[in-house]
Chain A
Amino acid sequence: MTRYQPTEFSVTVRAADARTLRVAVRGDLDYDTSDDFALAMYDTLHAHAEEHGPTLRDLHLDWAELNAFDSSGLSALLGLRRRAHSAGISLHLDRRPEFLVRMLQVTGIADHLTQPANRGVPSSSPAIGEGESAPMS
């Protein structure tokens, strides 16, 4: 009660069907939790694929209860985008708090993160952004 205590970090599946997955991210996504985030998203996507097969098209991340976000969080998000796109899944960043909007604006990668995934060529290559068009002029 005395000092600022970070809200417990959590990743929760809000809703899921074959094509769409909605996930809420709560607390601080930062240096200390970015690995947890990556693992949790990996597990979530894996579980979805187990249940439905490779049908997922849209991954919605709800940020309404995000408390803080730093460059490690951004790094984790870039990693997620890479994995999602290689499976033909598009990212959607919903209900962004002001600081997240600012972070994405300053770093210039909002469009890159939410670019629709290319369904035609499901690539399994881990190379970053391979086969993508330049996201910004």
Chain B
Amino acid sequence: MRDGCRTTIFFRAAERWWGAQCVPPLVIPSPGTSERPRGGDIGTAWSDAPCPAVLVDSGGSVVEANDAARALFGRHTADGSAQSGLPHWLAEAHRRLGTAGLPAHVVSGAVAHRTFQAHPSPGEGGNVVWWLVEDTALRSAEQALRSERERTALLADISGALLSSLNVDRCTEVTARMAADHLADAALIVTPAQGRRHSLTHAQADRAVTQTTAHIDAGSVPGLAEALQGFPPVPTRWIDPEDLPDWVVPPGFDRPIGSVIVTPLPGHGVPAGVLILLRSSTQRAFTDGEEIFARLFAARAGAALSAARLYAEQASITATLLQELLPPRLERVHGVEYAGAFRASQDHERVGGDFYDVHPGADPSKETVVVLGDVAGKGLEAAVLTGKIRTVLQALLPLSGDHHQVLGLLNDALLHSRHTRFATLVLASARRRSGQVELRLTSAGHLPPLIIRADGRVEEADTGGMLVGALPRIAVRSTDVVLAPGETCLLYTDGITEARGGPLGDQLYGEARLQEALRECARMPARAVVERVQMIAAQWLGEGRHDDLATLAITNPVGGHGALRIVDGHEDRRRRREER
């Protein structure tokens, strides 16, 4: 702190006064018996000065003290003082000033439970006047501000950490960790019961957070049962540590517990749990300020936890509903390879208006039925319609020997449903016979499949017909195709050929480019064909917008029928299911 201007003037005046009058050393008298130095106005100014001032000689003895100093030091207890009657910190500062001849430094310290800054003004003969300027209020205000700032920063940190994750376990772990680090010696979070068990998350300094589930009696901790209800809000409770059941104390926490508070974690209408804070008896008990802070903390943690819980519930519902709509994983069935790939038009979605299915024949002599199609629209809404179509087709499988009949019945089903939307699709029936794969293909308003011959020729399957779901009657034309080893039949949706992009930015990918690219795909495994096509489409698109992209390859593998089943026995399961 800089010397104020007024202090400086005052100091100059006093110095002159000291120079003129050699004041005898004085012991500081007791308060009330002030003995004022004589010397006219200046002396009066010194002795009446509102801030305590003492004149100390080079030996450290107090030569003179003004009224304020006398009053102050009289209240100062003797044990905090050096022999001179000065507090130790001031006596020490004076000694350093004398020995080192250092430039005058402001020092600070406490006198009689108040804090002062002592400003030295060296005078003649090693005498120094120490002016004591009180800063008690400033300091406590600064202290309060500092802790308030720390708490605000901490709350901001806590909010950031808590709101980052939408995973319930992680949120709970972070809450317990932060509570143990910033609020108490140990923290426990009890979540509302799932079934009959509660999840308990224990945290303590320098140890990993542990999460367990246990059957506990909420009534065994005063206030816990009410707090777990979540509503009506209950106040934070102080608990007698003697009453704590064992499960509240974190494993390995061996210090005696001094104070405990139980704070509900308020959720959004649903209880998020309860925070129990423990302090060992070697630490001080919680202050009122800390309790308020604990409640602020609990409010943020509760909000984050209930958001995470809601998200988890929604995500789980979505996942359950999507399960039926997701494209299936395909593999080899009865010596024929199937591989599919789907990319939704929006990167954050997993389903859309394109769909495919493979329904394995009951045994190798029976046909496996494949469908790939497209309904108008995008996203979940379109996906729900594809789900209906897939279900109808599954029900019609026993009739799959006659594609016309299946498609006619599907057309009827769609026409009479509430939706007036239509679908385009390709039906394929596949069976392996003496090293060849025999296919019957029928397009209902869909792009005809492309046949990749072993020598690299690419042919368009000669099938065509009308889309289903819009007109009362439809007509379709089927075709038979035979795949030799290394040959592939590719079913795809127009998202591939209508991909817009390329090096010039605005070109349609188109059927010609696709056919050109497929020439290179002769003798490739089914998986490689669909990945190649998806990759080419993705590269063509760059980051441009696009429709759903679906591809399905039916391949007569190069290795022949001897080829093994290596993927997880899925096929066996399927067969068993169908035999039942």
B467: min CB distance to chain A, Å: 5
Contact yes or no, A75 B501, CB < 8 A: no
**Interface check B185, CB cutoff 8 A:** no
Q: Contact string, B424-467, partner A, CB cutoff 8 A, digits 1/0?
A: 10000000000000000001011110000000000000001111
Contact yes or no, B466 A70, CB < 8 A: no
Contact yes or no, A3 B377, CB < 8 A: no
CB under 8 Å from chain B, chain A span 49-78: 68, 70-72, 74-75, 78
Contact yes or no, A108 B466, CB < 8 A: yes
**Interface check A15, CB cutoff 8 A:** no
Report the nearest A residue to B542, measured CB to CB: A3
Contact yes or no, A128 B377, CB < 8 A: no
Beyond known contacts A68-B500, A72-B376, A78-B422: 18 more, CB 8 A cutoff: A31-B547, A70-B376, A70-B494, A71-B353, A71-B375, A75-B422, A79-B420, A105-B464, A106-B424, A106-B443, A107-B446, A108-B465, A109-B467, A129-B470, A129-B472, A132-B471, A132-B472, A135-B471
CB under 8 Å from chain A, chain B span 360-392: 374-378
CA–CA, A107 to B445, complex, Å? 3
A-B contact pairs, 27 of them (CB 8 A): A4-B500, A4-B501, A31-B377, A70-B498, A71-B375, A71-B376, A71-B424, A72-B376, A72-B377, A74-B376, A75-B376, A75-B377, A75-B422, A103-B494, A106-B446, A106-B448, A107-B446, A107-B467, A108-B445, A108-B464, A109-B445, A109-B467, A109-B471, A128-B472, A129-B472, A135-B466, A135-B471
CA–CA, A78 to B494, complex, Å? 19
CB under 8 Å from chain A, chain B span 523-566: 544, 547
Contact yes or no, B424 A107, CB < 8 A: yes
Report the nearest A residue to B421, measured CB to CB: A75
B212: min CB distance to chain A, Å: 50
CA–CA, A130 to B415, complex, Å? 11
CA–CA, A120 to B424, complex, Å? 32
CA–CA, A4 to B420, complex, Å? 33
B contact residues around A103 at 8 Å (CB):
494
Q: Contact string, A77-121, partner B, CB cutoff 8 A, digits 1/0?
A: 011000000000000000000010011011111001000000000
**Interface check B292, CB cutoff 8 A:** no
A71-B374, A106-B447, A108-B445 in contact; A4/B475 too (CB < 8 A)?
A: no
Report the nearest A residue to B502, measured CB to CB: A4
CA–CA, A74 to B424, complex, Å? 11
Q: Contact string, B177-208, partner A, CB cutoff 8 A, digits 1/0?
A: 00000000000000000000000000000000
Contact yes or no, A4 B505, CB < 8 A: yes
**Interface check B508, CB cutoff 8 A:** yes
A contact residues around B501 at 8 Å (CB):
4
Interface band, chain A: 20 to 34
**Interface check B240, CB cutoff 8 A:** no
Q: 9 tightest A-B contacts by CB?
A: A108-B466, A4-B506, A107-B445, A71-B376, A136-B475, A75-B376, A134-B473, A107-B467, A4-B505
CA–CA, A105 to B471, complex, Å? 15
Report the nearest A residue to B504, measured CB to CB: A4
Interface band, chain B: 35 or more
CA–CA, A78 to B376, complex, Å? 12
CA–CA, A70 to B466, complex, Å? 16
B contact residues around A3 at 8 Å (CB):
505, 544
Partner of A68, one of B353, B467, B498: B498
A75: min CB distance to chain B, Å: 4
CA–CA, A129 to B443, complex, Å? 22
CA–CA, A136 to B476, complex, Å? 9
B contact residues around A130 at 8 Å (CB):
472
A contact residues around B424 at 8 Å (CB):
71, 106-107
CA–CA, A68 to B545, complex, Å? 13
CB under 8 Å from chain B, chain A span 23-58: 31
Q: Tell me which of B374, B465, B467 has the highest count of chain A C-beta atoms within 10 A of its own C-beta.
A: B467
Contact yes or no, A106 B471, CB < 8 A: no
Q: Tell me which of A106, A129, A135 has the highest count of chain B C-beta atoms within 10 A of its own C-beta.
A: A106
CA–CA, A74 to B498, complex, Å? 15
Report the nearest A residue to B543, measured CB to CB: A3
Contact yes or no, A128 B505, CB < 8 A: no
CA–CA, A3 to B505, complex, Å? 6
CA–CA, A132 to B501, complex, Å? 41
B466: min CB distance to chain A, Å: 4
Partner of A128, one of B465, B471, B494, B498: B471
A contact residues around B443 at 8 Å (CB):
106
Report the nearest A residue to B423, measured CB to CB: A71
Report the nearest B residue to A69, measured CB to CB: B498
Partner of A136, one of B374, B466, B498, B505: B466
CB under 8 Å from chain A, chain B span 465-502: 465-467, 470-475, 494, 498, 500-501
Contact yes or no, B470 A78, CB < 8 A: yes
B7: min CB distance to chain A, Å: 68
CA–CA, A132 to B474, complex, Å? 12
B113: min CB distance to chain A, Å: 71
Partner of B445, one of A31, A79, A106, A128: A106
A contact residues around B498 at 8 Å (CB):
68, 70, 99
A132: min CB distance to chain B, Å: 7
Contact yes or no, A4 B544, CB < 8 A: yes
B contact residues around A68 at 8 Å (CB):
498, 500, 508
B375: min CB distance to chain A, Å: 7
Report the nearest B residue to A78, measured CB to CB: B470
CA–CA, A67 to B446, complex, Å? 21
Report the nearest A residue to B379, measured CB to CB: A31
A62: min CB distance to chain B, Å: 21
CA–CA, A79 to B419, complex, Å? 12
Contact yes or no, A109 B466, CB < 8 A: yes
Report the nearest A residue to B547, measured CB to CB: A70
